[in-house]
Amino acid sequence: MDNNGVGSWLHRRRAKSGSKTALISGAHALSYEELAERTALLAGALKNRGVAKGDRVAYLGENHPSFVETFFACGLIGAIFVPLNTRLAAPELQFQLQDSGARLLVNAHALEEVAAASLKDTEVTHCLVVAPDGGPERSAVKLPTGVEHYGEVMAAAAGTPVDEAVTLDDAAMILYTSGTTGKPKGALLTHGNITWNCINTVVDMDLSRNDIALMISPLFHVASLDMGLLPMLLKGATVVLESKFDAGRVLKLIGQHKVTTLNGVPTTFQMLCDHPEWSTADLSSLDKLTCGGSAVPQRVLDAYEERGIGFTACYGMTETAPGATMLPVSASKMKAGSAGLPHFFTDVRIADPMGGRALPGEVGEIQISGPNVIKEYWNRPEATADSYADSSWFRSGDMGHQDEEGFLFVSDRIKDMIISGGENIYPAEVEAAIAELPAVGSVAVIGVADDKWGEVPRAIVTLREGAALTEEQLRSHLDGRLARYKIPKSVVFVEEMPRTASGKIRKTDLRKQFAL
């Protein structure tokens, strides 16, 4: 093939594993042969609708075979895939569609209303609507663009082979990550970034073609897609897709499909072991649990250890596609609290305040280099320039240290990011939305501990003189503007904010006083 990117994977895997099951979704299964054929048909259909190499195609929907087919179809024609978070509000989706310049949107039938609200003033000219399995093909929602139904498009697609010349240096995907200025940035992942991340995962996780992965986290998250789904398909293993997380159902599916691999965040793993059927569920097949996002509570670790299951801890970010380090189960006790060693083809260093390499045990900024690290943000040259040291080391914004053996320990987050149930929340974005209220004088958003979600946002607010505002009014203002998980779960009104000599709010002081 002329295509050396991720789009060629299914064609190459079909030759080796054609009859093997690639995807299971509910009662339906697709072999590698079938998945490759459907992807080729969709690629041809996208080309026929004007999508060319370099064009952006967005996807809004839960875990479903159409997500996988759209991703690989984009790869076949050299288009850039833009997965959208289904939990975002219409204005947030609209910004990402506008910023990426997406020309075509594939969206789930159940999300047509928010899709319609997000399309205004975008460059989207076509929508392909994915109907629920066995559900209605038609919708009463009027989308302001050309609408076709995904199943009908696939049924009518011609089988003309597509083999666009794509290299590892070509752009493959834009993933939006919130920035400290309040506006999300599009991390531009190349075919090479994705490929090398998957190779790192296959090597360090010791994946096998006999593995069966259950995807319980949304594929629009980089960890679920690039460390869960794609390495498994690269290896020729089987992936079970779940559109919604339900702890009881997950426990049943593990036993039913003999699941070996599970990726998630601390909240999902906690909900599994807290379920009434935890003690009786058949978990005998599980041997690879990967957790990222934040530390796993000790009681959760103990619950899994009692069942003979250990965790592999990971550290990374969207900009590293996302893997940076991994702590193997064998070192979990000896190196408790560590995020592990750098992935096989990735390097990690700690930079001291002068930009040099810190000594073992010395805290500094975590910086990452390797073929899995992005080279740029989409249309953000200034953000790109600010994010690299010595041209090739990505500045994570996180603080930590490495011990004598190179194991990484993360100590703090420079950027104040809140991680709630695996979702990243950047305070600046929430603060900007709250500041729109005329009654608000100043606002700061911090993270507070939560038994279920790990962290949740709390807003600290001062009011303008003579103004009045209630917590209910503030939250109502944000409803529809921000994803619900970003909306502060509590609000504290104060007379004044602690500030530095330059007038900046001292969030460290706010955390000491209000984060308990």
Pairing of strands 80-84, 238-241: unpaired
pLDDT of residue 143: 63
pLDDT score of 186: 97
163-201 residue pLDDT tens:
999 999 999 999 998 655 567 899 999 999 999 999 999
How far is CA 498 from each of CA 87, 433, 435, rounded to the nearest angstrom?
33, 21, 18
pLDDT of residue 180: 52
Distance CA 429, CA 432 (A): 5
pLDDT computed for residue 506 by the predictor? 86
Q: Give the range among 11-20, 138-147, 474-483 with minimum mean pLDDT.
A: 138-147
273: closest CA among 240, 243, 306? 306
User: At residue 158, does pLDDT exceed 90?
Assistant: no
CA-based torsion, 180, 57, 63, 132: positive or negative = positive
Cα gap 190→193, rounded to integer Å? 5
Check: CB of residue 106 under 8 Å from CB of residue 128: yes
pLDDT, tens digit, 9 for 90 and up, residues 124-146: 999 999 977 644 455 555 666 68
Going from the N-terminus, what domains does the chain have, and what CATH number goes with each? 6-166 (3.40.50.980), 193-413 (3.40.50.12780), 418-514 (3.30.300.30)
Q: Which residue has the higher pLDDT, 181 or 239?
A: 239
What is the dihedral sign for C-alpha 256, 258, 262, 267?
Answer: positive
Nearest to residue 67, comparing CAs of 92, 42, 87, 49?
42
Of 253, 3, 484, nearest in space to 261 by CA? 253
| Element containing residue 90 per DSSP (H, E) | helix 90-100
pLDDT digits (tens, 9 = 90+) for 298-345: 788 889 999 999 989 999 999 999 999 999 999 988 998 899 999 999
- Rounded-to-integer distance, Cα 93 and Cα 87, Å: 9
pLDDT for residue 461 = 97
Q: Are 8 and 1 in contact (CB under 8 A)?
A: yes
Beta bridge partners of 444: 460
**pTM for this model (two decimals):** 0.88
Mean pLDDT within 65-87? 97
Q: Note whether 348 and 366 are within 8 A (CB).
A: yes
Q: What is the pLDDT averaged over residues 395-416? A: 88
Q: How far apart are the first and last CA of the chain?
A: 58
Q: CA 444 to CA 513: how far, in whole Å?
A: 13
